[in-house]
A and B are shown apart, each in its own frame.
Chain A
Amino acid sequence: DTEVTQTPKHLVMGMTNKKSLKCEQHMGHRAMYWYKQKAKKPPELMFVYSYEKLSINESVPSRFSPECPNSSLLNLHLHALQPEDSALYLCASSQEVQAGYGYTFGSGTRLTVV
């Protein structure tokens, strides 16, 4: 299995809702990442998990809450989002944070906040 699987593919949520994005990989990768991408812009790093521990939080607002329950799974919990949070949310994994291999990306969750 050489894939990163993200669910759901599309999500529409109200500003008072609570929802979660899910990311799963079975490649034995020990580093996992959340990126946010606006249309025609590069991805922006949100969080890095290394060996299931949060190692980088790029000053992301607390309405985004990451969780890494095990080495294969990464969640992003969403609460009280704003319309400007509408974006493509990409999950990625790599063997380790310091390894020189590229990331494997999922196909993303297209989030719309109404």
Chain B
Amino acid sequence: AQTVTQSQPEMSVQEAETVTLSCTYDTSESDYYLFWYKQPPSRQMILVIRQEAYKQQNATENRFSVNFQKAAKSFSLKISDSQLGDAAMYFCAYRSAFYNQGGKLIFGQGTELSVKP
């Protein structure tokens, strides 16, 4: 069974600074997808960034980028130029590419990010 681990329950960053959230995962599959989701107090889960396991190039979306280390099974999220609106719970998630897994998203425990003005 696949597992996702986020070892930082809480993180804090100063506005305009950079912060990195950690995520490791365990799987025996070779083809899968990794995601970072953001859940602000408004509670809607928002997709931040997506990585395909067979692509070595790290995904980037504006101020958000990942460091994907497939051999180490590590998938960290870097937020540059942090803004007050980035304050939220961040979940790392894994999704198998195989149909028999049913499209299930497996989430880590989450990291609560606060941004100080």
Residues of A within 8 A of B (CB): 31, 33, 40-43, 45, 48, 50, 55-56, 88, 90, 92, 94, 96-108, 110
**A42–B97 CB distance below 8 A:** no
Are B104 and A100 in contact, with the CB atoms below 8 A? no
Give the Cβ gap from A94 to chain B, nearest Cβ, in Å: 6
**A105→B103 contact, CB < 8 A:** no
* B-to-A contact residues, CB < 8 Å: 33, 35, 37, 42-47, 50, 52, 89, 91, 95, 97-99, 101-105, 107-110, 112
Residue of B nearest to A45 (CB): B104
Contact B45 A43 (CB under 8 A): yes
Q: Per a CB cutoff under 8 Å, which of B43, B89, B105 touches A108? A: B43
Cα distance A98–B102 in the bound complex, in angstroms? 7
Closest A-B pairs by Cβ, 7 of them: A97-B103, A42-B107, A105-B45, A102-B47, A98-B99, A107-B44, A100-B33
